[in-house]
């Protein structure tokens, strides 16, 4: 480009642009500096390690690196419905409604819960790396897609990375292929079952085996009913097939594999103490409450992962009022059941892929 100064060319060459349509038909500009888009982290955020942290880079570059951990949050069908905008000391997390599930999740309740988990996980990552921060949820009422705005302070030089916290974050995986018939760790049981008064009010442990059996049966019956709807089946199946490994989202399962319902929500072949069923509740039915539920979910999952235990997650109560009304009297919870969590040790791990930084980062100059 003869005659064009390097100062103009360099920033252009240092950008990667891509376009994606939103559910609303709006097109947004995605941007990732070439320094982020190159290398293994651009392809697989799961390979991010604490030793890769750019300690000598700007706070903005450090925050972009930490996005690799934030995207490990769980989401319905692993749709990963979030976008990040990083500018200076601020991170904004948006809902990507182009990844919504209009049949499975018509009100976007599970989508917002997923985003809440992502916001919560980003906060836990900042804690692990020693960043002081503040978080404001739904900071702009004119933009319902903006889930949270996180503002960080400069990281103190003498801060040590909390490797135990980071290990819990990176070792957390959703169980989708059944449980081992092994007893749960004593420390895990003591924490979640030993002292009921110590549990947060949004979490209920189902100790009654008869109630647990009825809840599991309700889950299976409801799923069979849903599967009879071809629209529901097609939408679910579009996110669960081997080709999802290429798109780095969804669940890369083979058609001949047992479904998650049959392998994770049945008691056949399991000992009495190999799993523990818990219920997450919410006090109200609003987007803010859904986002808060995502935060609660993430904190419970990280705590369980610190004991070496993971969970199967069921969002049927979130998508069906009828299921909520049936399950509530069986759980003796104060609030409305919104998510079922079944904790245990995975029989076979299914490590779901994650989208790269290029796919989840918005241009710094993005505006509605």
Q: What is the CATH number of the domain that holds 103?
A: 3.40.109
Cα separation, 357 vs 42, in Å, equals 6
pLDDT of residue 66: 95
Residue 208 lies in a domain: yes
Q: Is residue 262 part of a domain?
A: yes
Per the structure, the complete domain to which residue 306 belongs is given by 173-344
User: How confident is the model at residue 21, as a pLDDT?
Assistant: 37
Residue 301, pLDDT score: 97
- Its pTM stands at 0.87
pLDDT of residue 294: 97
Closest CA to 292 of 342, 361, 339, 352: 339
- Predicted confidence at residue 264, as pLDDT, reads 86
CB 75 within 8 A of CB 93: no
Is the domain of 51 the same as that of 131?
yes
3-class DSSP assignment, residue 35: helix
> What pLDDT score does 154 carry?
80
Residues 88 and 187 in one domain: no
pLDDT value at position 227? 87
| 195 and 68 inside one domain | no
Residues 140, 202: one domain? no
CA dist 205 and 329 (Å) reads 13
Q: Is residue 123 in a domain?
A: yes
Same domain, 82 and 99: yes
Residues 187, 330 share a domain: yes
C-alpha to C-alpha distance for 181 and 344, rounded to whole angstroms: 9
Alpha helices in the chain (DSSP H): 6-13, 34-37, 40-43, 59-70, 109-128, 163-171, 186-189, 209-227, 230-238, 244-247, 260-264, 287-306, 316-319, 321-331, 357-360
Q: Based on the domain organization, do 149 and 19 belong to the same domain? A: yes
Residue 235 lies in a domain: yes
Question: What's the confidence (pLDDT) of residue 1?
Answer: 46
Q: What pLDDT is recorded for position 94?
A: 98
Q: Are residue 134 and residue 248 in the same domain, yes or no? A: no
Instruction: Indicate if 255 and 336 belong to the same structural domain.
Output: yes
What CATH number does residue 334 fall under?
A: 3.40.109.10
Q: Are residues 132 and 103 in the same domain?
A: yes
Give a yes or no: residue 57 inside a domain: yes
pLDDT of residue 258: 66
* Residue 3 confidence (pLDDT): 52
pLDDT value for 242? 76
In a domain, 367, yes or no: no
**Residue 365 domain-assigned?**
no
Indicate whether 113 belongs to any domain: yes
Q: How many domains does the chain have?
A: 2
Same domain, 25 and 135: yes
CB atoms within 10 A of CB 176: 23
Looking at the fold, whether 221 and 78 belong to one and the same domain comes out as no
Q: What is the pLDDT of residue 368?
A: 55
Regions of the chain with pLDDT less than 50: 1-2, 4-40
């Amino acid at each position: 480009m003869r005659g064009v100064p390097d100062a103009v060319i360099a920033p252009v060459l240092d950008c990667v642009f891509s376009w994606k349509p939103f559910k609303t038909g709006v097109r947004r500009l995605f941007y990732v500096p070439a320094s982020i888009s190159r290398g293994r982290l651009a392809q697989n955020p799961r390979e991010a390690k604490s030793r890769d942290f750019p300690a000598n880079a700007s706070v903005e570059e450090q925050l972009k690196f930490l996005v690799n951990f934030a995207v490990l949050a769980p989401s319905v069908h692993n749709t990963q419905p979030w976008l990040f905008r990083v500018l200076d000391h601020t991170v904004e997390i948006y809902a990507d409604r182009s990844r919504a599930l209009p049949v499975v999740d018509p009100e976007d309740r599970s989508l917002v819960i997923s985003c809440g988990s992502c916001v919560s996980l980003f906060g836990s990552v900042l804690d692990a790396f020693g960043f002081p921060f503040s978080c404001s949820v739904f900071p702009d009422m004119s933009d319902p897609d903006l889930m949270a705005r996180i503002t960080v302070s400069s990281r103190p030089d003498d801060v040590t990375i909390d490797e135990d916290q980071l290990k819990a974050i990176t070792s957390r995986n959703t169980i989708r292929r059944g449980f081992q018939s092994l007893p749960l760790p004593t420390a895990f049981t003591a924490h979640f079952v030993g002292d009921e008064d110590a549990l947060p009010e949004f979490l209920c442990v189902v100790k009654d085996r008869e109630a647990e059996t009825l809840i599991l049966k309700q889950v299976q019956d409801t799923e069979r009913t849903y599967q009879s709807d071809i629209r529901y089946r097609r939408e679910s199946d579009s996110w669960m097939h081997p080709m999802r490994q290429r798109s780095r989202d969804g669940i890369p399962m083979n058609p001949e594999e047992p479904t998650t319902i049959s392998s994770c929500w049945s008691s056949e072949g399991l000992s009495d103490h190999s799993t523990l069923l818990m219920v997450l509740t919410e006090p109200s039915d609003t987007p803010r409450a859904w986002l808060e539920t995502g935060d609660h979910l993430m904190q419970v999952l990280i705590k369980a992962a610190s004991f070496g235990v993971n969970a199967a997650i069921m969002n049927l109560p979130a998508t069906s009022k009828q299921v909520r009304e049936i399950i509530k009297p069986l759980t003796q919870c104060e609030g409305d059941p919104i998510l079922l969590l079944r904790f245990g040790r995975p029989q076979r791990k299914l490590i779901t892929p994650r989208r790269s930084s290029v796919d989840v980062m918005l241009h710094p100059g993005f505006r509605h």
